[in-house]
Amino acid sequence: MKIKEILSIAVILTTAMGVKAQTGVVTGTQFGSGEDSLRCRQNISLAQQDIQTQNYADALPLWKMAYEECPGSTRNLYSWGEQIIKWQIQQAKDEAEAEGYFNDLMDLFDKRIKYFGNDAQYDTNWIMSRKANEYLAIKGDKADVTVVYNWLKPMLEQYKEKTHPLSLSLYMMASQNLMASDVDKYMSQFVDDFLTVSALYDAKLEAAKATNDETAINTTMALKAQLETAFTQSGAADCEIMEKVYADKIEAQQTDLDFLKTTMILFNRVGCNETEAYFAAANYAHKIEPTAESAMGIAYQAIKKKDNATAEKYFLEAVEMTSDNTLKATLNYSVAILASSSNNYQKARTYALRALDANSNHGRALLTIGQTYGATASSVYSNDPVLRKMVYVLAVDKFERARQVDPSIADDAVRLINQYRAQFPTTEEVFMHPDLEEGASFTVGGWINERTTVKVRR
């Protein structure tokens, strides 16, 4: 006789003896005691054999008895239960029967939390991510995202940056779907959820960096990038909407520095740093704790008010408060643009060069330098129209370099190159001019004082 048949007979005999119930549920122990403990162990062993061969029909009664009598015996009961119940759903004769099995599956996750929610590897945090995922996978278009949202929100509140990544992803999906269903009702909530989850990813990233966990760093960065992409494509990143959602929040939390900083970061990220809400956040934050970001916000507001002097003041203040070279380049370039717009071309070059010191690939700074040269060509050589054209030759050098180091501005560079080349001296002009020889070095004088190579217009 096969061992499985012997064990089955043992289970039947044990049940028939009618011994007083001593199951795991009754005693609060892992397997129960006496004959009930034996029956639980035997059912688990027999069910495991059938699960391994995907013989779910035979596994069902064995698993169910163990699941009901000794649910705290092994977490395997729950992974087996998922397989069995999903099989039942597939075998269901109608929607009502399938719905009943589906409810059993949801109950299984809840029961697993009750008995194994503190499991070292697969705790409540993990179980709830599975429950939400299975709910959505099985329900499909009929899923109620409010249910998922309400399941997962407590997970974020409890586990914070340790919340399972799947839960974070599904939570944001649910929040976005709610927002899509009723923008007026859920827009503010969606933006707040984005900020919350984004902050959790930041915390995850810091923890990964602290332990030099490259895998975790790369994974978290990828997940955060997906989050930000989804947010920018959601429709919530529209500046008018952002203004509407945040204006009152900023006024109400004008002394909450963390909130103000987070708000500025968000507005910068979605390109809404010219809104009144952003300016308000920057001003309130600057009063509490001046930073490069808050100073930059005040500078942008000043530009909008056409107060270039104030804008320059705060841009330069921001330069002094940051160690980020990319930001330094942006700030110095902003001062260069302000100076150029006021026809202060020497100053414009000075700050464009500072931008290049911070970021040698800052193509816009190179374009600006070239344009300042072109703008002053007549003043540099007011009495020599041929030498004046050499200023444009030098300007094109800057445009060519800009195109090489910064492909993002290639179209603008090419447009300027074509425009300025039309101002190059002709072969005849160079031949007739004693100071020039095609291909030779030439120093452009005046305030520019920079060398180039003589080129002609073809």
CA–CA dist 347, 345 (Å, integer): 5
User: How high is the pLDDT of residue 438?
Assistant: 94
Angle between the N-to-C axes of helices 165-181 and 214-232, in degrees from 0 to 180, rounded to the nearest 10: 0
Q: How far, CA to CA in Å, does 370 sit from each of 342, 352, 403, 427, 450?
A: 16, 10, 12, 23, 12
CB 399, CB 371: distance < 8 Å? no
Predicted confidence at residue 18, as pLDDT, reads: 45
**Residue 20: per-residue pLDDT:** 55
Closest Cα to residue 133, out of 94, 106, 93, 98?
106
Whole-structure pTM value? 0.62
| Residue 370 Cα to chain centre, angstroms | 37
The residue ranges of every structural domain in the chain are 1-116, 117-236, 362-458
Which uninterrupted H or E stretch holds 347?
helix 345-358
Q: Residue 16's pLDDT is what?
A: 44
* pLDDT confidence of residue 24: 64
Q: What is the pLDDT of residue 192?
A: 87
Mean pLDDT by 10 residues, the chain (458 residues): 46 46 74 81 94 96 95 96 97 96 98 96 97 97 96 96 95 95 90 89 89 91 86 82 86 91 83 92 96 94 95 97 94 97 97 97 98 96 95 98 95 97 96 93 96 94
Q: DSSP letter at 143? A: -
Domain 1-116 belongs to what architecture? Alpha Horseshoe (1.25)
Q: Report in angstroms the alpha-carbon separations of 131 from 49, 80, 102, 152, 157.
A: 26, 15, 11, 10, 18
DSSP label at 426? P
pLDDT value for 224: 85
Helices (H), 73-144: 76-91, 95-116, 124-139
CA distance 63 to 81: 7
